[in-house]
Amino acid sequence: MRASIHTGTFLGLLFWGSVVFAQDRLEVRVEPAKASLKENIEGYIGDLGERDEQTLRRLAPALEEQARSAAEALGFYHARISSEVRPGASPTLVLRVVPGEPVRLRRVEIRIEGPAARLEAFRVPQSSRLRPGAQLNHGRYESAKSSIKSQASRLGFFSGHFTRQHLFIDPAANVADIELVYASGPRYRLGEVTFQGETPFDEAFMRRVVPFQAGDPYDSGQIAKLQDNLQTLGYFEGVRVDADPASISGEMVPVLVHLQMRKPRSFGIGLGFSTDVGPRGRANWTRHWANPQGHSYGVEMELSQPKQNIGLWYDIPLDPPMTDKLRFVGGYQYEELADTDTLSRLLKVGPEWHRRLDNDWQQIFSLKWQREEFRYGDDSGLSNLLLPGVAYSYLESDHPLDPSRGYRLQVEMAAASEALLSDANLIYSSIMLKGLTTLAGRHRLLGRLQFGGNFTDEYTTVPPSLRFFAGGDQSVRGYEYQTLSPTNSDGDHIGGRYMIASSLEYQYELRDKWRVATFVDQGNAFNSKSSPSLKTSAGFGVRWVSPVGPLRVDLAHGIDDGSFRLHFSMGPEL
């Protein structure tokens, strides 16, 4: 006997990953055991429901045929299937299956013809399970066809078709041949992009968002990227990009973009609490676009007992406008440091150039002028610095609020010179590394390492904002916020030239959204690199994953001074 199957005759017989578990009336026994065959038979037959013994006996021949079809879908054309009904209060139909030798592939020809054959991105389905000698599986044959058609649709071969698509089966010889030949036809091209909807932006600005040129080869990935670019801009409430092959003109696919503007202004306010600063409030106001070139501006404020600040910013989109911008910032901050008689009044203004590199690192070049009045106990000072700086950051994370794995790297450097409108020669640098991994689903390891240093011959003129302090929720727990630093003769914490802080934390997930944690922190801020005195703390805590990120409550013991401190904080762990 020889069979020829042209299309998806057996597609409905394959139920990988969707087995119905309500099998109270059915028991499938495969000898020798083959889990995939057992699951496919169970999935195809499905739930027998509440059947009595007589009904099951009447159904048995039909169910045997269904089981045979499910076995043939996996290449078992010589399966011997028998059945019996086991009586009782809940009668059960038992199917016994002896698979026999499977049909194996003898000849496999999968070929692409036309322009797609010369395109590296168009991949011919290749698998060890689609080679001569492999066991026949109708699902893999159908998957190969689907893969070819999907690629053709994604890459713009809209007139492509199979000139030959055959699956020849010879059960008597236990062999099968696959023949799939796809003629791609020409590759269509992307047409002009037309924007619809009331927008205040000029045409030149909108064109900078489009990641392709009219006439480029069609690629659905470029259409998706255009939609993502428009959403990332932050100007629109709704974005829909249509590139319908049905509207093809010649071999060009027109691209139609429907846009709905968001409200031009937004205002946000929030309240929070942490043991570092106590109760705090935040507010921001944003004008999302100010002119046809997409400029935007806004104001931000934060208030807490030790720190109050207000900042203004003005953004000019660069190219590409989704990620690159020129930002002008200015702000004023008043801060009482380390819960002692140390304070700072800081005025800062200057431009920043934000850019995302091709490797996804975030880069910021800045030129800030800052004027800072400060006091350390009875000593006071005034510092004027012009600080060119650079910062790099990189985040790899599998979730924005509650990742299970990932890492963050941040590097910042700035410098000042008396020859360039500054009161001191100074080099400032800081580095932070965080890493998170999850083992066996419930065991989480979180690590953090921070370094900082400033290098100057006139340290007494360095203001508090450029000195280093350790201790607190995000540093060395068990010690109060900013209290790990050198002190003056009056015991006021005045900050150090250098800083090291590290943490290793283990978390165990008790249940969904609840975790317990234990940790060890170590670090300090100091003036001498030769013999830093590091403080150590250890403790345990509880984590609850809220909609805005994990809430953390920790009880930490400062080992060096015997103190205990309760810490409360929230936000993403990377």
Calculate the alpha carbon distances from 260 to 186, 229, 265, 498 in Å: 35, 15, 15, 51
User: Is the CB of residue 45 less than 8 Å from the CB of residue 13?
Assistant: no
Closest CA to 303 of 281, 278, 271: 281
* pLDDT of 467: 94
> b vs e for 37-56, b when ≥16 Cβ sit within 10 Å of the residue's Cβ?
bbbbbbbbbeebeebeeebb
pLDDT at 26 over 70: yes
Closest CA to 110 of 83, 134, 74: 134
Alpha-carbon gap, residue 140 to 136, rounded angstroms: 8
The H or E element containing residue 225 is helix 220-233
Joined together, the tokens standing for residue 276 give 């570092």
Average pLDDT, the chain: 90
> How far, in whole angstroms, is CA 164 from its chain's centroid?
42
Peptide bond into 486 cis (omega under 30): no
- Residue that the structure tokens 């406008």 belong to: 321
User: Is the CB of residue 84 less than 8 Å from the CB of residue 74?
Assistant: no
* pLDDT of 469: 94
Strands 549-558 and 252-261: unpaired
Q: How many CB atoms lie within 10 A of CB 525?
A: 29
* pLDDT of 153: 94
Joined together, the tokens standing for residue 166 give 């055959």
Longest dimension (CA), the chain: 103
User: Is the CB of residue 151 less than 8 Å from the CB of residue 115?
Assistant: no
User: Is the CB of residue 188 less than 8 Å from the CB of residue 154?
Assistant: no
Backbone angles phi, psi at 266, to 5 degrees: -145, 155
Dihedral sign of CA atoms 481, 346, 428, 407 in order? positive
- pLDDT digit string, tens, across residues 142-191: 999 999 999 999 999 999 999 999 999 999 999 999 999 999 999 999 99
* pLDDT of 143: 94
Dihedral sign of CA atoms 338, 343, 347, 350 in order? negative
First to last CA, the chain: 64
Dihedral sign of CA atoms 220, 226, 231, 232 in order? positive
Alpha-carbon gap, residue 41 to 67, rounded angstroms: 5
The H or E element containing residue 205 is helix 203-207
Mean pLDDT of 305-311: 94
Q: What is the DSSP string of 376-431?
A: ETTEEEEEEEEEEEEEEEEEEES-SSS-SSEEEEEEEEEEE-TTTT-SS-EEEEEE
For residue 353, which amino acid is it? W
User: Is the CB of residue 528 less than 8 Å from the CB of residue 467?
Assistant: no
Residues comprising the chain, all counted: 574
Alpha-carbon gap, residue 557 to 536, rounded angstroms: 9
Alpha-carbon gap, residue 438 to 394, rounded angstroms: 20
Task: Quote the strand ranges of 236-361, DSSP E.
Answer: 236-242, 252-261, 265-274, 278-287, 296-304, 307-317, 325-337, 342-356
Please return the burial class of 411, using the count of CB atoms within 10 Å of its CB with bins 0-12, 13-18 and 19+.
middle
User: Is the CB of residue 415 less than 8 Å from the CB of residue 444?
Assistant: no
Mean pLDDT of 16-38: 69
pTM: 0.81
Range of lowest pLDDT (22-26, 56-60, 149-153, 420-424): 22-26
For residue 169, which amino acid is it? I
Joined together, the tokens standing for residue 368 give 């800030």
Closest CA to 146 of 133, 165, 159: 165
Q: Higher pLDDT residue, 379 or 298?
A: 298
Closest CA to 291 of 327, 315, 268, 312: 315
Closest CA to 62 of 43, 37, 81: 81
- pLDDT digit string, tens, across residues 202-233: 999 999 999 999 999 999 999 999 999 999 99
- pLDDT digit string, tens, across residues 427-444: 999 999 999 999 998 999
- pLDDT digit string, tens, across residues 516-564: 999 999 999 999 887 788 999 999 999 999 988 899 999 999 999 888 9
DSSP SS3 for 535: strand
Alpha-carbon gap, residue 523 to 250, rounded angstroms: 68
- Residue that the structure tokens 């099968």 belong to: 176
